[in-house]
Amino acid sequence: MSQVQSQRSILQDWLPRIVLAPSFAVVLLFVYGFILFTGVLSFTGSKMLPDLTTWVGLNNYARLFNHPNWSTSLANLGIFGSLYIIICSVLGLGLAILLDQKIRGEGFLRPIYLYPMALSFIVTGVAWKWFLDPGIGLEHVMQSWGWESFSFRWIKDGRFAIYTIVIAAIWQSSGFVMAMFLAGLRGVDNEIIKAAQIDGASNWMLYSRIIIPLMRPVFLSAFVVLAHLAIKSYDLVVAMTDGGPGTATWTPALFMQKFTFGRNEMGMGAASAIIMLMMIAAIIVPYLYSELKGGRRS
């Protein structure tokens, strides 16, 4: 009897591990194994195919940081990342607060804002490319409606093209951020709000002093989601400008793809991938750390 029981408990102990083992092994190999492989490649002189016989040390990194396209990519990431994260958060929060006023038709409005998230970045990119194209899009329509002097040709201008990508990305993601904030707002304890209202707090005070500070974890989650989307931004750029005009809208992910597969510079491509990994790690690791610490406390 006791033997059967102990056998069962052994099985119960081991079953989860046995079931998880294959997927664990697959993840270990195909995610972490290949991260390691990319890291190794970034120190080799690989050109077209992986080549582990030539070691060049940090040469790929030196060439990477001397390459004008990489500087452009980093600068674009700075512009794109900061504007995208800030505007998305502000818009998302604003929309969430407005939707939280117990208005009629919320169930109808919410999906409207969320819907762009259901599209892939490729679809968003192509749609915005056409919309912003001066020859067929907004400018053309405005002029054919009689507003002859109307001009909006940012997407064709190297100085402003990156901002059109920011606009499209914000259109795509702010609804999603709104949903996150809305969930956060709904999670705020009603008791606290009531108490504040009894104390005579205005709506402004209520939000700025109590509710928004309480949503700190939501801000953090939104930041992490948006930041990693910004760093890996590739499909949107490819669909909208493919890095043009000139090289004005290159991003690190675009750089990685073009160098590895288009220019037979696998070593440099791997080096840029590792830099991107380090950027993401710089965001995710502190986040995970604070989350895990928080978890232990509760």
Partner 1 sequence: MRKFLLTTAAVFGLTAMAHADEVEVLHWWTSGGEAAALNVLKKNLESQGITWKDMPVAGGGGDAAMTALRARVTAGNPPTAVQALGFDITDWAKQGVVGDLTEVATREGWDKVVPAALQNFSKYDGKWIAAPVNVHSTNWVWINKAALDAAGGKAPTSWDELVAVLDKMKANGLTPVAHGGQAWQEATIFDGVVLSLGADFYKSAFIDLDPKALDSDKMVEAFDRMAKLRSYVDDNFSGRDWNLASAMVIEGKAGMQFMGDWAKGEFLKAGKVPGKDFVCIRFPGTQGAVTFNSDQFMMFKVGDASQKAQLQMASDIESPAFQSAFNVVKGSVPARTDVPNDAFDDCGKKGMADLADASKNNLLFGSMAHGHAAPAAIKNALYDVVTKHFNGEMDSKAAAKALAEAVAAAKG
Binding site for partner 1 (CB under 8 A): 47-50, 52, 59, 63, 66-69, 129, 133-135, 153, 155-156, 158, 241-242, 244-248, 258, 261-265
Whichever of 179 and 256 has its CB closer to partner 1, that residue is 256
Rounded Cα gap, residues 41 and 26, in angstroms: 21
Whichever of 63 and 232 has its CB closer to partner 1, that residue is 63
Whichever of 100 and 242 has its CB closer to partner 1, that residue is 242
Any residues with CB less than 8 A from the CB of 237 and at least 6 apart, and which? 125, 165, 243, 249, 250, 251, 253, 254
Whichever of 59 and 291 has its CB closer to partner 1, that residue is 59
Largest CA distance in the chain: 91
**Long-range CB contact pairs, 56-65, < 8 A, 24+:** 56/267, 60/267, 60/268, 60/270, 60/271, 61/271, 61/275, 63/268, 64/268, 64/271, 64/272, 64/275
Burial 152-184 (b: 16+ CB within 10 A, else e): ebbbbeeeebbbbbbbbbbbbbbbbbbbbbbeb
Rg (CA), the chain: 25
CB of 141 to partner 1, least distance (A): 14
CB of 173 to partner 1, least distance (A): 24
Whichever of 29 and 292 has its CB closer to partner 1, that residue is 29
CB of 247 to partner 1, least distance (A): 6
Whichever of 60 and 89 has its CB closer to partner 1, that residue is 60
CB of 156 to partner 1, least distance (A): 5
CB of 129 to partner 1, least distance (A): 8
Whichever of 193 and 244 has its CB closer to partner 1, that residue is 244
CB of 271 to partner 1, least distance (A): 13
Cα–Cα distance list, 251 to 2, 11, 80, 226, 274 (Å): 64, 50, 9, 16, 14
Stretch (H or E) spanning 183: helix 161-187
CB of 165 to partner 1, least distance (A): 13
User: How deeply is 123 buried, as exposed, middle or buried, from its count of CB atoms within 10 A (0-12, 13-18, 19+)?
Assistant: middle
Rounded Cα gap, residues 61 and 63, in angstroms: 5
